[in-house]
């Protein structure tokens, strides 16, 4: 099965499941930026429950009288609110006692200290490359050449996750009282393909909140380390 995915900021486990399982992944490079989606936010498990971390963005400057370029590849990362420091502080607080946070911290810290990725697309692609390397997965990724209906290669039953659920809509505790629960469906899918089902794994606040599903891939990575790949 092939998949059509939107770019994500340290996307949820289910997104990486689709990335890993698909034969070919078509990464949507010509869509417009959409607010309140995983394109510029991720959700982690904190002591208080699910915590959403958002990357502030801005539109590129344009001459007076012309429309802003709203493409995802042109969306700029803003420095507003010292978000890099706040995100890294939140990750430290939530995961410093997990088995593998110290092991991966040096690989991930640069994303929260440097400004080497001026656009959201560049930041997300760099984080994806880093996470794939740490997970030891090697997806076959093809960037779309223009925005269009799903490519012909997907018509045989591929999965379109460009319009995946937002963090606010995610049923983070689906497995708390229903061990046989399935993951939420994305808002838009092709054929009968479904959002990949997530296998529960150990989390630091499991006894307090139950299993929190659909969290950022960082949660799985910090909790399970090299075994994280087995949950994809």
Q: Which domain holds residue 186?
A: 3-231
194 or 185, which is more confident?
194
Q: Roughly what angle, to the nearest 10 degrees, separates helices 101-108 and 217-224?
A: 130
- pLDDT tens, 22-37? 888 989 999 888 888 8
| Signed CA dihedral, 217, 44, 36, 61: sign only | negative
Alpha helices in the chain (DSSP H): 13-21, 83-95, 101-108, 120-135, 206-209, 217-224
pLDDT reported for residue 158 = 67
pLDDT at 137 over 70: yes
Report whether 15 contacts 161 (CB < 8 A): yes
Q: Please give the radius of gyration of the chain, using alpha carbons only, rounded to the nearest integer.
A: 17
DSSP annotation of 195 reads P
Does residue 80 have a pLDDT over 50?
A: yes
pLDDT mean across residues, the chain: 82
Number of domains in the chain: 1
pTM attached to this predicted model = 0.84
């Amino acid at each position: 099965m092939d998949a059509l995915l939107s770019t994500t900021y340290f996307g949820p486990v289910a997104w990486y499941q689709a990335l890993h399982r698909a034969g070919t992944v078509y990464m949507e490079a010509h869509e417009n930026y959409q607010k309140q989606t995983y394109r510029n936010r991720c959700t982690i498990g904190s002591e208080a429950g699910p915590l959403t971390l958002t990357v502030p963005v801005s539109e590129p400057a344009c001459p007076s009288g012309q429309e802003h370029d709203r493409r995802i590849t042109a969306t700029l990362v803003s420095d507003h609110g010292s978000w890099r420091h706040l995100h890294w502080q939140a990750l430290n607080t939530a995961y410093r006692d997990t088995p593998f946070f110290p092991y991966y911290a040096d690989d991930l810290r640069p994303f929260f200290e440097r400004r080497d990725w001026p656009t959201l697309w560049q930041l997300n692609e760099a984080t994806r490359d880093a996470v794939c390397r740490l997970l030891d997965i090697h997806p076959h990724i093809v960037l779309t050449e223009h925005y269009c209906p799903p490519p012909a290669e997907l018509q045989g039953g591929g999965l379109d996750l460009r319009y995946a659920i937002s963090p606010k809509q995610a049923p983070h505790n689906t497995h708390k009282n229903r061990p046989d629960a399935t993951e939420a469906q994305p808002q838009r899918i092709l054929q009968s393909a479904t959002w990949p089902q997530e296998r529960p794994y150990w989390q630091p606040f499991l006894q307090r909140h139950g299993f929190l599903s659909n969290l950022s891939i960082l949660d799985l990575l910090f909790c399970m380390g090299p075994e994280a790949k087995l949950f994809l």
